[in-house]
Amino acid sequence: MPKSECACHHKNTPRSEEVQSDIRRRLNRAIGQLNGVKDMIDDNRYCGDVLTQLSAAESAVRRVSEIVLREHMRTCVVEEIQAGNTDVVEEVVDLMKRFS
């Protein structure tokens, strides 16, 4: 699908540079951990060590999800409710179920 036909939404309020920087740093760390896991698999490393690294990568991604969800609640959800769109509450409930 061409970029102009993306079904993705864009935020009305941009993320702060501080939040974007924190998310980028955390994602880069998780990517590095996952690349390390690939190398460990290629090197036939001990399963327990691989699982430990996978757990660290999962924790890093989970933390990014928490940050993005918090940002979503503080900006997008507040803006939608202020605009009269209370349907966004169901979206938030679904998102919270997905990440719990």
pLDDT value at 16 more than 70: yes
- The radius of gyration computed from the CA coordinates of the chain, to the nearest angstrom, equals 18
pLDDT of residue 78: 93
Stretch 79-84: mean pLDDT: 94
Give pLDDT tens digits for 34-64: 999 999 999 999 999 999 999 999 999 999 9
Please state the pTM of the whole predicted model: 0.81
pLDDT value at 100 more than 80: no
How far is it, in rounded angstroms, from Cα 39 to Cα 43? 6
Which has more confidence, 39 or 5? 39
Which alpha helices (DSSP H) does 1-100 contain, by range? 17-42, 47-72, 78-82, 88-98
pLDDT value at 13 more than 70: yes
pLDDT of residue 59: 95
pLDDT of residue 1: 47
How far is it, in rounded angstroms, from Cα 81 to Cα 88? 7
